[in-house]
């Protein structure tokens, strides 16, 4: 995903002279193509995420669409107030990019487990969350964000994720993207972020065999009202995410439809149990421990 | 040269606004009146008919709790009607009690400390990338220098040689609960800034000539920081240098007494 991100950002930056990339001393063997082609619009702000985010907001207020880039919780929690006050409140076009969403960096320990980031970001009224499920959706999200500059959060996995789309799809905030619908049309596994692969695994399980698989890479507070419409036609939906249930995507969905849900619709959520907090291990091991993989 | 009457008038506005709204931070506001008066009278290139004029200088108040002198100055300069100052702190007013970008002429909302300088650094860097000649001025409090984000920004600005950035420190030596010295001492402040790679100037923050000369000087090759020695509550004897006036609201008697002192 991170390679798809930088490839697409370079292509978009050729046309859009206002795109700037500000990194927090991270992105080795990732950000170099941008830095080499656009040295005037590339800044390494050092290991200083508060200043990185504040200055991104300042540049955005002068017409730039600034992408800040770091890993795990560094560009979010470390500078949460800068995101809240400087970016979100002033409604400025800053896209916060993190690599290592979920438990991608499982072995690196709790500092590197980005499993509470949706909770933080989705509490801000103007923020659009972009959590693509594969490299194709990564490019789709970037194209959307560049066409619609706004306070936003792009949450990437790592590298080497498989593609689940043949081409770059068209994505819209709050809209479910059909990924695979060979079987039952009234039952759906809905994924956000890099759990799209796990969604495909669950669709082979006897309890969910033949479920339609959807992805929702773009969502946020503003798009809750669309979800009732999205649910129409389904009698069983299971959300999946690599984030804690508390404040996560499934919780967001429940909040979105809690007045409307009736006995005819079953809504379940697969999200990480808090049991994973503080545990160390591979992404596969921790996802299993957290209860989101088979 | 700015007239003394301008600053006196701003001080009267501040007293009335804080009294009228039951607000706080009157001493923090009085501390920066002379700096603000000189900035808006002699230094900043701004246009009251076109607050978003591209060539304007950018002024950011990082100590957002001291917003009343900015609102009063912008009103006196016809960015909006002086009558609107009565709405300060009222329900649905754009004039909220920490500086708001919804007010014509205000660049950036603050209120949480340590945000103005990084934002200003971003503006100054943007101007450099775009080859534009306007300057960015950021006014910070002394207590605010406790925030680590400022020091990230001081390092960044020097590294990038942002000589289009001017930071002004309102060094009134008092913070919310106690003196700066007793809270977390800043000295040696001049040496701190020098070692961070800034061009440092030190002056009396109530001396118009010193303020004007230093603010207008463009010979700096590095970012410029002005340590302005000020008196918290300047202009009203019973408010000056008193910690409690960080929060206190003047009652009717105190308001009249303060206004009569200014007359």
- Is A169 within the bounds of a domain? no
Measured between beta carbons, the chain B residues lying within 8 angstroms of A62 are: 122-123, 126-127, 130
The verdict on A124 and A10 lying in the same domain is yes
The verdict on A112 and A208 lying in the same domain is no
End-of-domain residue from the set A126, A156, A186: A156
Distance CA A290, CA A242 (A): 9
- Is A165 within the bounds of a domain? no
| CB nearest to A58's CB, from B101, B126, B149 | B126
Q: How many domains does chain A have?
A: 2
CATH code for the domain of B43: 3.40.50.970
- Is A163 within the bounds of a domain? no
Domain limits for position A243: 177-289
The verdict on A59 and A13 lying in the same domain is yes
The verdict on A254 and A131 lying in the same domain is no
DSSP SS3 for A215: strand
Q: How many domains does chain B have?
A: 1
| Bridging pattern class, strands A211-215 and A177-180 | antiparallel
The verdict on A16 and A113 lying in the same domain is yes
The verdict on A191 and A150 lying in the same domain is no
CATH code for the domain of A187: 3.40.50.920
DSSP B52-94: T-TTSPEEEESSGGG-HHHHHHHHHTTSS-GGGGGGTTSTT-S
Q: Which residues of B131-140 are buried (b: 16+ CB within 10 A; e: fewer)?
A: eeebbbbbbb
Each residue's pLDDT expressed in tens, for chain A with a length of 294 residues? 999 999 999 999 999 999 999 999 999 999 999 999 999 999 999 999 999 999 999 999 999 999 999 999 999 999 999 999 999 999 999 999 999 999 999 999 999 999 999 999 999 999 999 999 999 999 999 999 999 999 999 999 988 899 999 999 999 999 999 999 877 889 999 999 999 999 999 999 999 999 999 999 999 999 999 999 999 889 999 999 999 999 999 999 999 998 777 777 899 999 999 999 999 999 999 999 999 999
CATH code for the domain of A131: 3.40.50.970
The verdict on A80 and A194 lying in the same domain is no
- Digit-coded pLDDT (tens) for B192-251: 999 999 999 999 999 999 999 999 999 999 999 999 999 999 999 999 999 999 999 999
If you search the block for the tokens 């017409």, which residue do you land on? A63
- Is A164 within the bounds of a domain? no
The verdict on B231 touching A (C-beta cutoff 8 Å) is no
The verdict on A53 and A130 lying in the same domain is yes
The verdict on B57 touching A (C-beta cutoff 8 Å) is no
The verdict on A13 and A51 lying in the same domain is yes
Find how far residue A39's CA is from the centre of its chain.
27
Domain limits for position B252: 4-262
| CB nearest to A48's CB, from B124, B125, B156 | B156
The verdict on A10 and A131 lying in the same domain is yes
């Amino acid at each position: 995903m991170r390679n798809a991100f930088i490839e697409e950002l370079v292509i978009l930056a050729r046309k859009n002279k206002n795109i700037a990339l500000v990194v927090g001393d991270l992105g080795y063997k990732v950000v170099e193509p941008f830095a080499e082609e656009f040295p005037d619009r590339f800044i390494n702000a050092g290991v200083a995420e508060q200043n990185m985010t504040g200055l991104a907001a300042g540049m955005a207020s002068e017409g730039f669409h600034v992408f800040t880039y770091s890993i795990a919780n560094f560009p979010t929690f470390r500078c949460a107030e800068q995101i809240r006050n400087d970016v979100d409140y002033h409604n400025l076009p800053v896209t916060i990019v993190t690599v290592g969403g979920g438990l991608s960096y499982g072995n690196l320990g709790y500092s590197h487990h980005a499993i509470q980031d949706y909770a933080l970001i989705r509490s801000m009224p103007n923020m659009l969350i972009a959590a693509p499920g594969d490299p194709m959706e990564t490019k789709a999200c970037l194209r959307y964000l560049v066409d619609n500059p706004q306070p936003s959060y792009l949450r990437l996995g790592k590298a080497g994720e498989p593609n689940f789309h043949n081409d770059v799809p068209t994505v819209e905030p709050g809209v479910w993207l059909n990924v695979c619908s060979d079987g039952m049309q009234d039952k759906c596994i809905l994924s956000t972020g890099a759990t799209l692969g796990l969604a495909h695994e669950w669709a082979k399980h006897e309890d969910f065999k033949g479920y339609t698989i959807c992805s929702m890479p773009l969502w946020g507070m503003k798009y809750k009202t669309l979800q009732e419409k999205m649910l129409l036609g389904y009698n069983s939906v299971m959300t999946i995410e690599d984030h804690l249930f508390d404040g996560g995507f499934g919780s967001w969905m429940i909040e979105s439809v809690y007045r409307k849900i009736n006995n005819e619709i079953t809504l379940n959520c697969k999200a990480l149990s808090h049991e994973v907090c503080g545990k160390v291990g591979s992404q596969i091991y921790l996802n299993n421990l957290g209860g989101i993989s088979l | 040269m700015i007239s003394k009457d301008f600053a006196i008038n701003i001080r009267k506005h501040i007293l009335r606004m804080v009294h009228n709204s039951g607000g706080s931070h009157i001493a923090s506001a009085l501390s920066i009146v002379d700096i603000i008066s000189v900035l808006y009278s002699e230094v900043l290139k701004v246009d009251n008919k076109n607050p978003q004029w591209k060539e304007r200088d950018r002024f950011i108040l990082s100590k957002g709790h001291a917003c009343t002198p900015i609102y009063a100055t912008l009103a006196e300069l016809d960015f909006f009607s002086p009558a609107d100052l009565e709405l300060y702190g009222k329900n649905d007013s754009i004039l909220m009690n920490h500086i708001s970008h919804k007010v014509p002429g205000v660049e950036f909302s603050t209120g949480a400390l340590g945000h103005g300088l990084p934002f200003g650094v971003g503006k100054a860097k943007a101007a450099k990338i775009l080859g534009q000649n306007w300057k960015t001025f950021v006014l910070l409090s002394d207590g605010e220098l406790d925030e680590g984000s400022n020091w990230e920004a001081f390092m960044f600005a020097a590294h990038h040689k942002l000589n289009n950035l001017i930071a002004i420190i309102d060094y009134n030596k008092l913070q919310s609960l106690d003196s700066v010295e007793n809270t977390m001492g800043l000295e040696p402040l001049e040496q701190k800034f020098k070692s961070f790679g800034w061009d440092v100037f030190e002056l009396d923050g109530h001396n118009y000539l010193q303020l004007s000369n230093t603010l207008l000087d463009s010979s700096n090759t590095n970012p410029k920081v002005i340590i302005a020695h000020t008196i918290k509550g300047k202009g009203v004897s019973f408010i000056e240098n008193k910690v409690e006036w960080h929060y206190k609201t003047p009652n009717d008697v105190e308001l009249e007494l303060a206004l009569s002192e200014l007359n």
